[in-house]
Each structure stands twice: as C-alpha cells, then as structure tokens.
C-alpha cells in the first residue's frame, strides 16, 4: 500500500505564487502541512515570482490574533508584521484546497524566543542558572494554558483537515536559533542532555513533590557537565535518573494530553500527528513519549533527518509505543542530504520496511527546483 506523502510549507511560499500549489500537488504529494504557529526563521523562496528570502523575525501566529481570546494572559501570540494580511494561513490554505490538497495546520508549541523574552520566568533554566529564551517550560500552568488556547484557536479558526504538532514538551540546550556559537565547546550528547534539564521554579516544585532534592540534583548535574559524563545515568546514578525521568515524562504527557484533548473536543475525527521520540531525555521538536503516549494522537512522527541508521533507530524506538497509531517519517529533502532521487527512494523504502505509514517532507517551499524534482521522482518510483 502506498504511503501518504505530506509536504511542509510556509504561508509565504503560496501567497503571491499561483504556481506553487499545483507544483507541489504534481509531485505526488497527498497533503500539505502548512505552518500556522511557528518560530522565527530566515527562509529562502527559490521559486517565488516576487521574492527570494523571507525574514520572519519572531515567532508568530498566522491566523487572526483575537483580543478577546488572549486578553489578560501571561503569554499571547503575535501577528507577523512581515505579512499584510491578518489571516495569511487561511489565504495560503485556500490556494492548496483549490487544487485538491488537504491542509494540515503545523504548529510549534513551546518554541518561541519572543514569548520567552517577554516572560523569562516561564522559560527553561539550566543547572547553572542560564535561561533559554526560546524554550517555554511546560511545567508552568501558564505555558500549558497558552498551548491549549493556541491549539483551540487553530482548530476553530483554521478548520484544518489535520494537525501536525511539534515541541509538545520541554525544549533544552539544542535547537536554539540565532547564530549558534556552541560547537567549539565540544559538549558530548550527555552534556547537552544535562544542560537541557530544567531548574525553573515550577520544575523545582515538581522535583520536591517527587522527593528529589533540587540542590543536590543541581550539583550532580553541574558536576556531570564539567566531568563530561557519558550519560545522565552515569552523572546522577540510576535511581535519581529514573525519578527525574518520571517527573519530566509526566510534564510532557500532561501537555500533550491537554492540547490533544482540546483539539478533539472541537473536532473529534481530526487527524493529529505528533512529533515524538522514544528517548526519555529527548527535548526540542520531538518530545519524549517514553513510557507511553497516553494521548489520542493519530500518528507518531519520527525524526529521520539524521543518517539513515539513526533514523531507523528513531523509528524502531517509536514502534514500541505506537499501538494502533500510524507511524510517519519526517524526511529531510534539503542539505546536507544529497539532491538524489535514487538515494531518497532507497531511504523511503528502508523506512517503509521498518513500519512507516507516512512520509513528511521538509520542505517544499525551501527546496530548489532540482530538489523538488528529486522528491517527485522518488515518489513516482515508489508508485511504479
């Protein structure tokens, strides 16, 4: 059975380019995940007739920001000043629907530097006391309420055929943005995970409720970072690591339950794809579902941007938690991946053999004509 192919796009890829929607449809794409709530980005638009680069300077909601909904809230989304319409998502979605493409609303929930700078007390704070402005911490009720309200607004105003939800959990050290200048520190994976552990007021309260002494934990984390520990378990000990993982897992689980329940209450049959990871220490776009999804998602989306062997490990990890859900591979069609239809087809075949039901391609608006042709050729080879 052929796998559904979903292409990710931004609203500016479609607005002002009447050829964009037919071009993507003709690749053999079955639906488009259109960004509706997204972080800052400087995006190329190589095939657009009017511009070549869009500078989305801050996180924004590409739907009308209704004052009556957001009044008196600690966190409020911002409209995109670089676009002239209040409902750019609706305008772009119509372009896709007019050529027969279903539209999924693609939302990043806890990733917003703008909101983090406006409310730093609601962001992740590492063991050294450093704040990550791009990382809203879902241990705070205000953050959860913001995410729930955001998803409700998206379902009500956009009325999409589906949702693609990423960052449904805590962010950490990586995936920050700006001009990243951290590579020279040579932090190993465990150090990055340790630097992703949060010590904000809400998280420390959770630790105390679970019987974890936050100061002792902080000291162990700092020592593990400085000693280049090989794993969180090695830095903290198995018992403390297990206690900590349960607390952090509960925070992510509560967030995904709340937002997905909110979406289901408004649209019970909505197709909901959840970016997820089986790694219990995962942070960022692919939040951990280790121990169980415990939310009514339709599809789990595995990160398949790294090399194929790592992507296959991510798929295998999610397979144990998928139950009756579909499984999708989030496939990178941009550098550093080669522009090679044969290699892409081999990658897709390997994912399908591992149990993947859907392919989500990043990104149909950022890709050159040659890269789009490679996607189309790879999909065509799969059909034949």
Q: Is residue 318 part of a domain?
A: yes
Q: Is residue 265 part of a domain?
A: yes
Mean pLDDT of the chain: 95
Q: Is residue 193 part of a domain?
A: no
What is the domain range of residue 304? 4-118+133-181+253-383
Q: Is residue 236 part of a domain?
A: no
Residue 1 above 70 pLDDT? no
Q: Is residue 237 part of a domain?
A: no
Q: Is residue 112 part of a domain?
A: yes
What was the pLDDT predicted at 179? 59
Q: Is residue 312 part of a domain?
A: yes
CATH number at residue 164: 3.20.20.80
Residue 291 above 50 pLDDT? yes
3-state per-residue secondary structure call for the chain: CCCEEEEEECHHHHCCCCCHHHHHHCCCCCEEEEEEEECCEEEECCCCCCCCEEEECCCEECCCCCHHHHCCCCCCCCCCCCCCCCCHHHHHHHHHHCCCCCEEEEEECCECHHHHHHCHHHEEECCCCCEEEEEECCCCHHHHHHHHHHHHHHHHHHCCCEEEEECCCCCCCCCCCCCCCCHHHCCCHHHHHHCCCCCCHHHHHHHHHCCCCHHHHHHHHHHHHHCCCCCHHHHHCHHHHHHHHHHHHHHHHHHHHHHHHHHHHHCCCCEEEEEEECCCCCCCCCEECCCCCCCCCCEEEEEECCCHHHHHHHHHHHHCCCCCCEEEEEEECCCCCCCCHHHHHHHHHHHHHCCCCEEEEECCCCCCHHHHHHHHHHHHHHHC
Confidence (pTM) = 0.95
The domain total for the chain is 1
pLDDT in tens, 268-284: 999 999 999 999 999 99
Residue 65 above 50 pLDDT? yes
């Amino acid at each position: 059975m052929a796998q559904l192919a979903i292409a990710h796009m931004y609203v500016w890829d479609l607005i002002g380019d009447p050829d964009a929607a037919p071009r993507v449809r003709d690749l053999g794409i079955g639906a488009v995940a259109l960004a509706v709530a997204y972080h800052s980005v400087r995006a190329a638009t190589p095939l657009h007739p009017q511009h070549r680069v869009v500078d989305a300077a801050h996180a924004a909601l590409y739907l009308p920001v209704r004052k009556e909904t957001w009044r008196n809230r600690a966190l409020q989304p911002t409209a995109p000043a670089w676009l002239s319409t209040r409902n750019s998502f609706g305008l772009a979605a119509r372009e896709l629907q007019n050529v027969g493409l279903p539209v999924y609303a693609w939302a990043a929930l806890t990733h917003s530097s703008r909101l983090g700078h406006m409310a730093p007390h609601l962001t992740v704070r590492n063991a050294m006391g450093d704040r990550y402005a791009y990382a809203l911490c879902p241990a705070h009720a205000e953050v959860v309420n913001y995410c729930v309200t955001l998803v409700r607004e998206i379902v009500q105003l956009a009325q999409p055929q589906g949702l693609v939800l990423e960052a449904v959990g805590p962010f950490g050290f990586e995936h920050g943005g700006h001009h990243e200048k951290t590579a020279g520190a040579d932090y190993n994976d465990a150090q990055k995970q340790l630097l992703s552990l949060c010590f904000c007021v809400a998280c420390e309260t959770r630790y105390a409720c679970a019987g974890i002494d936050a100061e002792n934990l902080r000291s162990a984390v700092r020592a593990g970072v400085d000693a280049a520990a090989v794993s969180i378990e090695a830095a903290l000990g198995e018992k403390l690591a297990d206690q900590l993982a349960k607390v952090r897992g509960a925070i992510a689980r509560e967030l995904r339950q709340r937002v997905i329940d909110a979406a289901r209450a408004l649209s019970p049959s909505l197709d909901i794809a959840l970016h997820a990871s089986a790694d219990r220490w995962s942070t960022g776009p692919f939040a951990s579902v280790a121990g169980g999804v415990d939310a009514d998602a339709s599809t789990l989306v595995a990160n398949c941007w790294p090399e194929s062997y790592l992507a296959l490990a991510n798929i295998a990890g999610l397979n144990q938690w998928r139950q009756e859900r579909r499984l999708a591979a989030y496939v990178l069609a941009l550098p550093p991946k080669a522009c090679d239809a044969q290699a892409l087809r081999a990658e897709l075949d390997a994912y399908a053999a591992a149990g993947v039901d859907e392919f989500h391609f990043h990104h149909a608006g950022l890709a050159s004509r040659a890269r789009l042709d490679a996607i189309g050729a790879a999909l065509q080879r799969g059909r034949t």
